[in-house]
Amino acid sequence: MFEDKTVFVIGAGASAEFGLPVGLKLLENIKENSLFEFEYGNNPSKGNRVVFDAIVSRYGSQATFKEVFKTLGDIARGVETAGSIDEYINRYSDDEMIAELGKLLISYSILEAERKSTMMATARVSQQPGSRTRSDAPFSSNS
- The string of pLDDT tens digits covering residues 31-80 is 999 999 988 877 889 999 999 999 988 887 666 888 999 999 999 999 88
pLDDT score at 37: 92
Residue 32 lies in a domain: yes
Which residue segment(s) compose the domain that 90 sits in?
Answer: 25-136
Which of the four pLDDT bands, split at 50, 70 and 90, describes residue 21?
Answer: confident
Residue 20 lies in a domain: no
Q: Full-prediction pTM beyond 0.85?
A: no
The per-residue pLDDT for range 102-137, each reduced to its tens digit, is: 999 999 998 888 888 776 655 555 555 555 444 444
Residue 11 lies in a domain: no
Give me the helices (H) in 11-61, please: 23-34, 49-58
**Phi, psi (deg, nearest 5) at residue 44:** -70, 140
Which of the four pLDDT bands, split at 50, 70 and 90, describes residue 4?
Answer: confident
CB 137 within 8 A of CB 129: no
Q: What is the 3-state secondary structure (H, E, C) of 108-121?
A: HHHHHHHHHCHHHH
pLDDT score at 121: 55
The residues near 76 (Cβ < 8 Å, ≥ 6 apart) are 30, 31, 34, 35
- The larger pLDDT score, comparing residue 46 to residue 17, is at 46
Q: What's the mean pLDDT in 8-14?
A: 71
Residue-wise DSSP of 73-117: HHHHHHGGGSSSHHHHHHHTTT-HHHHHHHHHHHHHHHHHHHHHS
Residue 16 lies in a domain: no
Alpha-carbon separation of residue 29 from 72, 100, 104, 113, 131 (angstroms)? 13, 17, 12, 10, 35
Instruction: Provide the 10 A C-beta neighbour count for residue 62.
Output: 8
Residue 132 lies in a domain: yes
| Residue of 64, 66, 37 whose CA lies nearest to 49 | 37
Helix (H) or strand (E) segment spanning residue 44: strand 44-46
- The larger pLDDT score, comparing residue 25 to residue 126, is at 25
Residue 8 lies in a domain: no
Task: Tally the domains of the chain.
Answer: 1
